[in-house]
Amino acid sequence: MNHLLSIEELSREQIEKIVDLGCELKKDRKASPQVLTGQQWALIFSKSSTRTRVSFEVGIRELGGSVMFLSSADIQLGRGEPIKDTARVMGRMIHGAVIRTFAQQDVVDFAQYSGIPTINALTDDEHPCQVIADLQTIKERLGGWQGKRLCFLGDGDCNMARSWIWASVHLGFELVIGAPKAFQPQESFMQRVPSGTIRIVDDPAEAVRGCDVVYTDVWVSMGKEAESADRIETLKPWQINSELLKHANQGAIVMHCLPAYRGKEITDEVMEAHADVIFEQAENRLHAQKAIIVEITRKS
Ligand code: CP
Ligand code: NVA
């Protein structure tokens, strides 16, 4: 394993190993293995970020490496230099790259042409680092995901929904995608998913019923701003509020990858009531991503 480009391409064993290592690394940040000593890493971001940027910058330094942040607007990539040329230049100077962009193919191409460890820090297709951190949170809070039911509410065709679908395929927990027809996973995507693994439900109460984890994400993902008004209108019934949560299992946890838009996908009341889990998810980005870096830089 030299890269982390998607949850789709991981195995159950690889996911479990990274999550376990993330739990281990969390116990003592000062004892982080210095696997990046002498290494220069770059964060190449074409979209905004708070958590991902901060957690990778801190994590890479804690592992002994140096890190530079490159907004695509500031490098020639933003003026149209091809990703494969950017990759070939950087591959000759740096030791690893963390990329946030639009097309999944761009992280695939960067990994191929740079020849250095490459991590997908969010594309339109997947957000693998977030799901690994969230699995760590579920393990800490619920003891694991085996036998648990998670529902993902709202935009069921976004990057987070897709990464959760692949996590369910590999790990075997029950996943319900709760979304209105217009926001259900696309047919072309579902053709890649083994049939019968996930349930798609278009009634909010029905989607939440019997769930141990109720998960949501922003209704307007980065790049979809032009569709804001339509999305907010169509997704209104899918807000996580205290009324809807009555249908979930007793003790169900609410999760959100953040940033959250209170009054849209989640109420302020629910956000605050479940803040300990939600901000633990954010913290776990640091530990989980250090584990990812340790795994992909491991000399076999
Ligand atoms: N959840 C997440 O990736 O947050 P940022 O966009 O702030 O990095
Ligand atoms: N689906 C969201 C996730 C943000 C972390 C987006 O792509 O904007």
Residues 6+ apart with CB under 8 A from 150: 138, 164, 168, 173, 174, 175, 176, 211, 212, 213, 214, 215
CA 258/CA 22 separation, integer angstroms: 20
- Homologous superfamily (CATH) of 3-127+285-297 is Aspartate/ornithine carbamoyltransferase (3.40.50.1370)
Q: Is 54 in the pocket of ligand 1 (CB under 6 A)?
A: no
Fold equal for 3-127+285-297 and 130-282: yes
pLDDT tens by residue, 139-164: 999 999 999 999 999 999 999 999 99
- The rounded Å distance from CA 195 to ligand 1 centre is 31
What's the pLDDT score for residue 200?
Answer: 98
Q: What is the pTM of this model?
A: 0.98
- Ligand with an atom nearest the CA of residue 225: 2
Fold of 130-282: Rossmann fold (3.40.50)
pLDDT tens by residue, 225-266: 999 999 999 999 999 999 999 999 999 999 999 999 999 999
Give nearest CA residue, ligand 1 atom 5. Answer: 49
Residues 165 and 186: beta-carbon distance below 8 Å: no
How large is the ipTM? 0.99
Mutate to test the pocket of ligand 2, among 129, 155, 217, 257 (most ligand atoms within 8 A of CB): 217
pLDDT tens by residue, 261-289: 999 999 999 999 999 999 999 999 999 99
Residues 6+ apart with CB under 8 A from 170: 7, 10, 11, 12, 15
pLDDT band (50, 70, 90) for residue 299: confident
Where do the domains of the chain lie? Answer: 3-127+285-297, 130-282
Please name the helix (run of DSSP H) or strand (run of DSSP E) that holds residue 213, with its range, or none.
strand 213-216
